[in-house]
Amino acid sequence: GGGGSGSGSREAVERLVREHPVVVFMKGSPAQPLCGFSNAVVQILRLHGVEDYRAHDVLQDPDLRQGIKNYSNWPTIPQVYLNGEFVGGCDILLQMHQNGDLVEELKKLGIRSALLDAEKDQEKK
């Protein structure tokens, strides 16, 4: 569609991705994810102890669902944004989780990953 100021407009989406350091567009809510990929993103963030993030349920808002895909040029949900930058979906977040990039990215946002503390506990043993 054209421009306009609906929830799916570029301006509206831009505002959403910038309103918090960690923003997730998902199906359902963190308490009740409605697809396996959305659930995986929630679980990964939880592993890192990231409880304070903004989640938007695209199932509540078809305009937003399409708008966010246009904005990121990424065809699927969930989508994760760090500091207003599109990171990717579930598979990319999982990869970043496994190779340590996510810890680093969170650090840039001033968020200390819980996994760092878990590793410290391992070393003591």
Confidence class of residue 65 from pLDDT cuts 50, 70 and 90? very high
Domain topology for 10-124 = Glutaredoxin (3.40.30)
Share of the chain above pLDDT 90, in %: 88
* pLDDT exceeds cutoff 70 at 125: no
Q: What is the mean pLDDT of residues 37-57?
A: 97
Confidence class of residue 1 from pLDDT cuts 50, 70 and 90? very low
Q: Under a CB-based contact definition with an 8 Å cutoff, are residues 9 and 3 in contact?
A: yes
Task: Report in angstroms the alpha-carbon separations of 81 from 4, 76, 85, 114.
Answer: 23, 14, 5, 19
Sheet-wide strand order for 22-26: 54-57, 22-26, 79-82, 85-88
Average pLDDT over the chain reads 94
Q: Is 35 among the annotated ligand-binding positions?
A: yes
Report domain extents, the chain. Answer: 10-124
DSSP state of 28: B
